[in-house]
Amino acid sequence: MITKKKNLSEYNAAEVPSGEAFRIGIVVAEWNSEITNALAQGALDTLLQYGVATENIPIVHVPGSFELTTGADLMMKNDSRLDAVICIGCVIQGETRHFDFICEAVSQGITNVALKHERPVIFSLLTTNDMQQALDRAGGKHGNKGVEGAVTALKMVALQRKLEE
């Protein structure tokens, strides 16, 4: 069976909630900064496009993707008004097993931070075989995964508010 590849960057704009009353943080890893800066810009532009105020988008940087979990935890802990955090990083497969350890730690860590603070923490981590695959997903032929992270954050905050009404 042939399945059509779904590029989530082609989302339905009408289904994205307004972020006017939202406060959404972004934590960006400095490793592979050409990629992570492009993802962060995509996320920022999207949050602004959907009405989140500039002053309600705090941005912090951490050295590498492994530190994204701690960065998100610190942001949540020190800012009770924060509705969600988007974690942005890029891990490229190397010759050693670091790739596996970092990816495992970040995915599990982000889940733990979200559950601990009972607020959405978004996984915008590229885990690619090479730099070209990362470029393709940071504004290239497969869209910008930072944009998708921002849309996901808006949807999750709206969901949380709806369920907690």
- Measured from the CB atom, the residue of 38 and 91 that comes closer to ligand RBF is 91
Q: Which residues contact 91 (CB under 8 A, 6 or more apart)?
A: 31, 32, 65, 99, 102, 103, 106, 125, 126, 127, 128
Q: Check residue 74 for interaction with ligand RBF (CB under 6 A).
A: no
The candidate with the shortest Cα–Cα distance to 24, out of 85, 114, 113, 111, is 85
Indicate if 98 belongs to the active site: yes
- CA of 28: how far to CAs of 14, 25, 34, 64, 109, in Å? 28, 10, 12, 8, 15
Q: Check residue 97 for interaction with ligand RBF (CB under 6 A).
A: no
- Measured from the CB atom, the residue of 126 and 157 that comes closer to ligand RBF is 126
The tokens of 71 are what? 């960065």
Site for ligand RBF in 29-48 (CB under 6 A): 29, 31-32
Q: Check residue 126 for interaction with ligand RBF (CB under 6 A).
A: no
Q: Check residue 89 for interaction with ligand RBF (CB under 6 A).
A: yes
Residue spans of beta strands (DSSP E) within 15-65? 24-29, 59-62
Stretch that binds ligand RBF, among 17-25, 59-67, 77-85, 108-116 (CB under 6 A): 59-67
How do beta strands 84-92 and 121-128 pair?
parallel
Q: Check residue 67 for interaction with ligand RBF (CB under 6 A).
A: yes
Q: Check residue 118 for interaction with ligand RBF (CB under 6 A).
A: no
Q: Check residue 11 for interaction with ligand RBF (CB under 6 A).
A: no
Q: Check residue 51 for interaction with ligand RBF (CB under 6 A).
A: no
> What phi and psi values does residue 26 have, to the nearest 5 degrees?
-130, 130
CA distance 39 to 51: 19
Binding site for ligand RBF (CB under 6 A): 29, 31-32, 63-67, 89-92, 94, 96, 98, 102
Catalytic sites, residue numbers: 98
